[in-house]
Amino acid sequence: MNKRIFLSAPHMGGNELKYIEKVFESNYIAPLGEYVNKFEESIRSYTGVDNALAVTSGTAAIHLALRILGVGKNDDVLASTFTFIGSVNAIIYQGANPVFIDSDKESWNMSPKLLNKYLLECEKKPKALIVTHLYGMSADIEKIADICKLHGVYLIEDAAESLGATFNGNHTGTFGDFGIYSFNGNKILTTSGGGMLVSSNENWIKKAMFYSTQAKESFIHYEHEEYGYNYRMSNVLAAIGVGQMEVVEDRVSKKREIFEWYKESLSDVKEIEFMPELDNSRGNRWLTAMTFEITDYNKIMKTLEDINVESRPLWKPMHMQPLFKNAKKYVDGTSENLYNHGLCVASSTTMTKDDVKMICDKIKENLD
């Protein structure tokens, strides 16, 4: 049996262990230290954002953003329905109500048209919007940002999956009031677990730092006027992040190459469609995602499992989840249709062209 091929396995660049050793030598094992600053600096210089805060997860970063924007009990928060739960859990933490907006066919991400229509029609103005750049592909973000400005809705970009993706040359995560990245185990870069909150607003990031470290007022005796969280990233994990950031462009190129291999190997199959890439954007192709005409993709998944290759259905939209059966939604069937027809296929950056060919042969055997 061949070695298991994962959807997106961790892929160290080579220097991570060396940096961890430096952390151990300095004994700054926790909580803070120079690698946290270095990791934040590497995100700032790579994405061009002015302020960054390293935290324990992407979910924590979204939570901090909502708290700082004043999202609270009974507020409405718009969100992509076609996303992973980590994108929206923090809405519940804040006692707010999610309102799910559907995707469009052009991007598979949030439809600016539906968003605009909802905002024109809705009786209760939402406080904020969380838009996901799914599978590393940029949403129609300039339009979405303009709509948010027009309607006075704060914008949080969930770029958990899309580090390195750009729209009109600017990095996803830098268009909104806040952006977040994730360094969970299977993201394009990983610190085993971690996240980053970014914003052009320095005061907000300072406030986020305050909340992420138990909201301690500046007294030696630990005075508290507000409640906070224990969300700050450790120096050990940040050392991994610094090593990972050295290879971010290599990882993006490799992910994009893997996508091209899939596209080439399946070019003779008409009934397969790949997740689109909007004009003027560059996706990081975190996971190659595709739809089939058939809806019974379980047999494709099973055949791939037989050769020890991981695959997974496209995210089940949030408005279809039992957890959100009573949530408001503004949908037209697009994401439900994608979910019914689509799979993510193995996209680990250690894969070879032959791996992709082998997977594509299996897919082709199961298309009817």
Ligand X SMILES: *Cc1c(COP(=O)(O)O)cnc(C)c1O
Q: Which residues are catalytic?
A: 187
Residue 302 CB, nearest distance to ligand X (Å)? 25
Of residues 10, 33, 58, 317, which one binds ligand X by CB under 6 A? 58
Residue 183 CB, nearest distance to ligand X (Å)? 7
Residue 318 CB, nearest distance to ligand X (Å)? 11
Residues 142-171 close enough to bind ligand X by CB under 6 A: 158, 160-161
Tell me if 84 contacts ligand X by CB under 6 A: yes
Tokens 């091209």: give the residue: 260
Residue 174 CB, nearest distance to ligand X (Å)? 17
Tell me if 231 contacts ligand X by CB under 6 A: no
| Residue among 173 and 243 whose Cβ is closer to ligand X | 173
Q: What track of x and - describes contact with ligand X for positions 173 through 202 (by CB under 6 A)?
A: ---------x-x----------x-------
Pairing status of strand 166-167 against strand 154-158: unpaired
Q: Can you point out the beta strands (E) in the chain?
A: 51-55, 76-80, 97-101, 128-132, 154-158, 166-167, 170-171, 178-182, 195-199, 273-274, 281-282, 288-291, 311-313, 328-330, 342-345
Tell me if 59 contacts ligand X by CB under 6 A: yes
Tell me if 132 contacts ligand X by CB under 6 A: yes
Whether omega for the bond prior to residue 31 falls within 30 degrees of 0, making it cis, is: yes
- Report the distance separating Cα 295 and Cα 108, nearest Å: 18
Of residues 42, 51, 81, 83, which one binds ligand X by CB under 6 A? 83
- Report the distance separating Cα 39 and Cα 35, nearest Å: 6
Give the largest Cα separation in the chain, rounded: 69
Q: Can you point out the beta strands (E) in 91-237?
A: 97-101, 128-132, 154-158, 166-167, 170-171, 178-182, 195-199
- Please give the residue ranges that form the binding site for ligand X (CB under 6 A): 57-59, 83-84, 86-87, 132, 158, 160-161, 182, 184, 195
